[in-house]
Amino acid sequence: MRNIFLLDDITEPTKSKAAQKGYTFHDSVTPEAVFVRSKQVPDSLITPELAVIARSGTGTNTINIEKCTENGTVVFNSPGVNANAVKELLLLNLFLRVRPVEKAYEIMAQIKEEVLQGIIPADSVLDVAQERRTTIIGEELAGKTIGILGLGEIGERLAEACFHLGMDVIGYARTQKDSQYFEQTAELAELLEEADFVAILLPLNDQTRGLINTESLAHMKSEAILLNFGRGEIVDETAVLAALNQGTLTQYITDFPTANLLNHSQVICYPHIGGTTIDALTAGDQVVFANMDRFIRYGTIKEAVNFPQVTLRFLAPYRITIFHKDAPGALAPLLRLLSEAAVDIEHMASERKAGMAYTIIDVADQEKEVQQAISLLRELPQVHRVRLLRNPHLVE
């Protein structure tokens, strides 16, 4: 049985599949795997026993990636699976900002109450409603400009949807994108000066932290609306509140609530629900669980945050996986050690990423020699993690 520590709940279909594959769920201090959505992963869980962290979602700012890499713990996430959910929530907010639907509900609720009290005749409801609608005349999104900060999967989907609504779309990202749905600019100030809506969809890193601050907010239109569905720390909330109070910004909508933001009448806070739909949660869970399961059982890696992608059919009795520092000739001492231990190599695959390498070596049915080699490999200073896997179809 393999132990998964659940920091967040997991959808029932994925939980059922995990149980069928022999996984158990316990709050162990030394789990083999950790499943998480948005909670902080305590560094105390990153032990020598922890092989994998499965993050159902995109952002990894709640995970100590550096420590995981040093520990030889692979981190998987599920970028893109919640893109449609976030896009739809953003579109909903755009529509609600130009069409005062909430006020329309309030008017009709008041009319209903007046009908019940006999103040308004039942046969005059439509006439009264049409008279009062003059206070809630809205606008249209067509012809307005949206600036999208971050042109990943969500940003591109939002850009396409807004383009088809007749909006002018300006995109901002570090890498150049080729799209018919937006014009891209490398100048943030230029985007902020033109946009009626600014949608933040950037990841949090050293370059984006505090990107929207007093200086950048000064470039925005006073009637503009700022929507943050990237990460809370990208926006300097003190600067945003000051802009709202000074009338140089109309509204701030965020999926990252704080105590300071809750009390402001021009701020709308959501409880981090951007990617929270049944469809997105299920898809995210399934993606990271499948990647986690493949890694634990076969040592193969697909779309990891901190490990290179390596796949190899498991046809030999044993498999050695080695996560190690990358350098010219890095494989030579590892292979030499196996050769000196008289271990026969049947298949091998190795890839590198960000100064690290991940090597899969399939070997013959020589358990004693393999175990000795494993012990020696773990003593090498350049090696971060070594795992020995048995092919269940070939080794009992």
Contact status, residue 373 vs residue 336, Cβ threshold 8 Å: no
Instruction: Give, rounded to a whole angstrom, the gap between the first and last alpha carbons of the chain.
Output: 16
In this prediction, residue 79 carries a pLDDT of 87
What stretch of H or E contains 145? strand 145-149
Nearest to 247 by CA among 222, 215, 214, 216: 222
In this prediction, residue 207 carries a pLDDT of 93
Q: What is the pLDDT of residues 351-367, one digit of tens each?
A: 999 999 999 999 998 88
In this prediction, residue 1 carries a pLDDT of 62
Question: Does residue 176 have a pLDDT over 80?
Answer: yes
Question: Does residue 88 have a pLDDT over 90?
Answer: yes
Q: Which residues pair with 248 in a beta bridge?
A: none
Is residue 396 very low, low, confident or very high in pLDDT (cuts 50, 70, 90)?
A: low
CATH of 1-82+277-307 given 3.40.1020.10, 3.30.70.20, 3.10.50.40, 3.40.50.720: 3.40.50.720
Give domain 308-390's CATH superfamily. Answer: ACT domain (3.30.70.260)
Helix (H, G, I), strand (E, B) or coil at 212: strand
Q: How far is CA 34 from the centre of its chain?
A: 16
Is residue 38 very low, low, confident or very high in pLDDT (cuts 50, 70, 90)?
A: confident
Contact status, residue 193 vs residue 221, Cβ threshold 8 Å: yes
Kindly indicate whether the domain formed by 83-97+140-269 is annotated with CATH number 3.40.50.720: yes
Q: What is the pTM of this model?
A: 0.79
Sequence-separated (6 or more) residues with CB below 8 Å from residue 241: 260, 261, 264, 267
Q: What is the pLDDT of residues 364-390, one digit of tens each?
A: 988 899 999 999 999 999 999 999 999
In this prediction, residue 392 carries a pLDDT of 83
Is residue 100 very low, low, confident or very high in pLDDT (cuts 50, 70, 90)?
A: very high
Kindly report the number of other CB atoms within 10 A of residue 53's CB atom. Answer: 30
Q: What is the pLDDT of residues 296-315, one digit of tens each?
A: 999 999 989 999 999 999 99
In this prediction, residue 101 carries a pLDDT of 94
Q: Tell me what percent of the residues of the chain surpass a pLDDT of 70.
A: 99
Question: Does residue 117 have a pLDDT over 70?
Answer: yes
Is residue 58 very low, low, confident or very high in pLDDT (cuts 50, 70, 90)?
A: confident
Question: Does residue 87 have a pLDDT over 70?
Answer: yes
Sequence-separated (6 or more) residues with CB below 8 Å from residue 296: 2, 32, 33, 51, 52
Report residue 179: phi and psi, to 5°.
-150, 145
Q: What is the average per-residue pLDDT within 101-128?
A: 95
Q: Tokens at residue 92, please?
A: 């909903």
